[in-house]
Structure 1
Amino acid sequence: MIVFLIDADNLSSPAWVNEAITSAEATEGPIAVRRAYGSAENLKGLAESLRDWAIRPFLNVYLTKNTTDMALAVDAMELACQTPAPHTVVIGSGDADFVPLVVRLRERGIKVLCASEYRKMAPEAVKAYDGVIYVGRTVVLETATTKAPPAARKAATAAPAAKKPPAKKVPTAKKVAAKPAPAASVTPADQVTKDMVLAAVPKLKTGDWLPISDAAKALHDNKLLSKNASSARLFKRFPQSFELKPEKQPNQVRLTSAAD
């Protein structure tokens, strides 16, 4: 028996769910148990996939703690203790929180796979699984290759590099003591990009929640945020990429999307 348990608060795109199930069934066989756990909002966003694949939704009460992860883990261990036990469990989430569950399932002789959007997969969790099904790669690659117009890409590859003219000899000038370079100024807020934020705070790339104070310190150190500026306001400029919690006076932030 194959079981697929989806953390709908993490694997929240219908396209990702469809791709994950198709890939899992192609390599492992028909999936007998299909369940999705999450908030009402996220389960509603997966309504089409839930209907098409006959996935049972399990509504979770939204709290500040990881109650969705706990509900999924409890059901996974309950299924593992049944007779006969599943021979394969697929967990639809890249969160590192599930590593203890993965270890216990493997100790019971169950093969455990992970299905995750590749930018949300926690690097430290990869080796805990018997395999990882990455979804969403095709969309990201297509987006990257279609940004530049075809004519511009062709011209860029066809045009030879221009040769630099030989440097003119300049009479030797009297050496002057160099003045100390002025201190680097803070980048204006409207010029800060998502990629600049991720370069300054690489821990966000794991997709895990990060204290917003840690992120703010890294942004200050990299001159992307002035001393009196709000880090929450900066992250809110990229609503498709970063999520803050709680909604009022947020104290945590994470990367939620691969979209530019």
Structure 2
Amino acid sequence: MISDDERIALFLDYENLAIGARDGLGVSPFAFGPIADALAERGRVVARRAYADWSYFDEDRRLLARAQVELIEIPQRLGGSRKNAADIKLAVDAVELALERGFITTFAIGTGDSDFTPLVHKLRELDKRVIGIGVQSSTSALLPPACDEFLFYDRLPGVERSIPPAGPRRGRRPTAAPPAGATPVEAPPTPAATPVEVLAPAADESVEDDDRDLGALVARTLAGLQRHADGPVLASRVKRAILRKDPTFDEADHGFRNFSELLRRLETERVVELRPGSAQGDPEVTFPQGESAEAAEAAAFRLLVEVITRLRTPSSRPQLSGLKNQMRKREPGFSEKRYGFNNFLSFVRAARARDLVVMEWDEDTGDYVLDVPAG
């Protein structure tokens, strides 16, 4: 067993999360992938359990089964309240696992319900680290302070608010879903595509970005590890995190004999920078420093400003949706992940923080609209 990895047990109060994501973000069915990726950057998930009355979550059940989540059935009594149906069972199972599996170092509790605060306190008394996960609009203010770390689902890479109020722009998906967001349409395992991607056919993007996404995968993983690492991030740790995200990953499929060769290739492309590590053959991986990296990032921001300037008119401003596609028309190789940003929205927010663009939420369109500062 790898000693420097946390061993994580994940418990999901699924109804709380799914309804919160549906009502607060317009995400339906619930996308588990962003949670899996976030935890993969923190350690090995050795147990995955989700609690709900699954008769209300037909599509979600299939997606979670593909993600190797154990589904715990909590049937509802006729006329009974559904709010706290899974609470007691989840709490009992979590404490039982904490007592019986000493090798588990961390518990991830997916809920926004303050009723789980005593469970969090008990797990911490048992010397377990607790990570909370919840939708911001439906998370009690009492829960995050009780945890060692709290992840708002809204802010995880790959999760973006769908376009309200008339319903998602993808016309196939109905506005009014059955309870907790089950839908009859086909949905990919990671349905929470960001608004900036919604106009692009997924298959076309997958084909054109196959090799480029390899660099994006490494950059995205490295950025996540750096946020949570206490020290340098070694190549072996990057590889383990990638394998936790995608167990089928094999650098040989991309033409590389080993992971070190892949990293050296990405270093020549200025995606990452390698430095001598504590052990031979296991270099430290970081993002490039110096003028060339700064120049590349500045060029990407300039491209964003140029596209916004070209799209705006005296009577309208461009929306965030589709903006990335417009940038790729100008620069096919563009990817915000090459500059260490988890998603396009983070990239645009970084441009706003540098006073390069103006970004405002527009209630009429249910989307961000962008402009360049006057003068």
Report the alpha carbon displacement of residue 52 of structure 1 after superposing the two structures with TM. 2.0
Is the aligned partner of 1:64 residue 2:81? Answer: yes
Residue 9 of structure 2, aligned match among 3, 16, 19: 3
Is the aligned partner of 1:54 residue 2:68? Answer: yes
Give the structure with higher Rg (CA).
Answer: 1
Long gaps (5+) in structure 1: 159-257
Residue 21 of structure 1, aligned match among 23, 36, 39: 36
1:106–1:112: 8 Å Cα contact kept in structure 2? yes
1:8–1:36: 8 Å Cα contact kept in structure 2? yes
Identity within the alignment, %: 26
1:206-227 per-residue CA deviation (whole Å, 9 max, x = no partner) reads xxxxxxxxxxxxxxxxxxxxxx
Report the alpha carbon displacement of residue 143 of structure 1 after superposing the two structures with TM. 6.5
Is the aligned partner of 1:129 residue 2:147? Answer: yes
Is the aligned partner of 1:31 residue 2:45? Answer: yes
Cα pair distance change 1:7/1:72, threshold 3 Å: same
1:79–1:85: 8 Å Cα contact kept in structure 2? no
Report the alpha carbon displacement of residue 39 of structure 1 after superposing the two structures with TM. 0.9
Across the aligned residues of Structure 1 and Structure 2, the Cα RMSD in angstroms comes to 3.1
1:188-207 per-residue CA deviation (whole Å, 9 max, x = no partner) reads xxxxxxxxxxxxxxxxxxxx
TM-score by structure 2 length?
A: 0.37
Cα pair distance change 1:8/1:69, threshold 3 Å: same
Cα pair distance change 1:37/1:156, threshold 3 Å: same
Partner of 1:155: 314
Cα pair distance change 1:83/1:58, threshold 3 Å: closer
Q: In 2, distance between residues paired with 1:106 and 1:14?
A: 32
Report the alpha carbon displacement of residue 11 of structure 1 after superposing the two structures with TM. 1.6
Is the aligned partner of 1:139 residue 2:160? Answer: yes
Long gaps (5+) in structure 2: 1-6, 19-27, 166-194, 197-307, 318-365, 367-375
Which structure 2 residues correspond to residues 90-101 of structure 1 after superposition, within 5 A?
90-101=108-119
Which structure 2 residues correspond to residues 143-222 of structure 1 after superposition, within 5 A?
154-155=313-314
2:129–2:148: 8 Å Cα contact kept in structure 1? yes
Partner of 1:226: none
What SS does the aligned partner of 1:61 have?
A: coil
2:32–2:64: 8 Å Cα contact kept in structure 1? no
Aligned residue pairs, count: 156
2:108–2:130: 8 Å Cα contact kept in structure 1? yes
Report the alpha carbon displacement of residue 70 of structure 1 after superposing the two structures with TM. 0.8
- Superposed structure 1 runs of 4+ greater than 6 Å apart: 141-146, 150-153
